[in-house]
Chain A
């Protein structure tokens, strides 16, 4: 009894000290802008985001500091969200409450993005999403403290599916990862195929993550569709492509990877992926500006950047410029400044953040090179078409976001 009383007192004292410590820190914190990169550091998406995302953020901070004399410090913190929604929201809460983080970034995988957006809204902090894909972020679940920067399922499905239908791939069969993201991708691609005069013959949904896709591929084969649309990501996509070649499904039927990153092409090799179409927001070898930045990135990471990582640099830089312009890290002031200024850097030209939080910019339709066309490491794509910002993303008129005035 006596003991437990003592413990209680000790706890209370500790709490009081903790509180005092917190208050003391808060005063310092006014002079620090803290950026929290919350990403997949160890799982399936750690190559396309992960450590490279943290590096891209740090590069943006260093470049900003080199160019601007500002009276505040900038810090980058990072954590592994393991692609789980609950871990993400707990970490975000801890960052906002205790570590005075002003903005949480990246959030690869939709579930983590949706979870953290809600926490950010509740705590009146900012979420800058680069890695997640679902259009829900700027539709049903939109809010005024979130910006969706790099791409979404609409943009990638729109670019790739439209191009493939125009090339004569009229009949489709989908191989879909059986969770929110895969279904969203399948739905967006189906709409595009139908709108362009194609026809969807069927779909098979595979458990996520899978390793053997041969059964599903044979189903797709017996459907007789010209195109097999892969509404999945990461190793699910790379395994599907590899096994389609093994079973002689390609090149008789063609594959359309609806969400692919340059790291996937690197992993599969050009022999397997040649002539495939894909849509990306960024390609390192597109022009002198992208090459210059990507080479700096490569020197540190030994890999070329994905669109997620390049987008994150762009988002971070735009955020810091907005803080400087607003002369404050107050959420509403910074959001106003971010939406007012167009984005102009190596990643986007005249990019605009819409009222639903979607950053609209050009997207690029790529075709993977044949092995003999590739002249140097990471020389993987031919840029076939620039999809102008106005067509690349879902139009505001179709938006389900409550912030859009109609």
Chain B
């Protein structure tokens, strides 16, 4: 009896592993197909612009408001610790480096996965459930070129823009707390920041990170939608999986990218 249960446990574990690897392969294949058939999303750039509107512009409010608060909290917390060491002028460096290097790209990607990724998954899942994708194929319109690729490129374009805005607005929030509220000298705030934030190593690396996160988040959302079982439950589960997988992928990729960037 025990042996039987153990056997079942192992077989389920193995099935789960095989399923995960199958999904990884299918996702990679969809990624390749998207890249190959993305010519149309540039030739008819209107399609992509429309999706940039839905994924990027519509996410602006949540991104900007959270950036503002993240920056303000960073300044408050940073000041609290820095003043113990008598270096409260370094608050500008702390806020800028934290935002530009890490929090900007990562928090933007997490919010993007929640705000835009779920919408993409639900939309494509529902398109599949209502057989719109099959209808396109019947009309010899490739759903990957017409539906998937424009959304992919829109995500790739929108993410760095959103992350840059996040960093900038966060720094402004930090400035508002540090200078008018706490009373750190404004000149020291900006000059220390400029002396210690490097254009290439900090800012461009942050933008590159957000570009990678954009590819990962959008691709995961698209794949989960494309792969969702065509039922109400299937779409809802796919939406949940989008958030979970994207968040984990972003945090894991962030570690890998950072370890490369710091080593250089």
Q: Tell whether A and B belong to one assembly.
A: no
Binding site for B on A (CB under 8 A): none
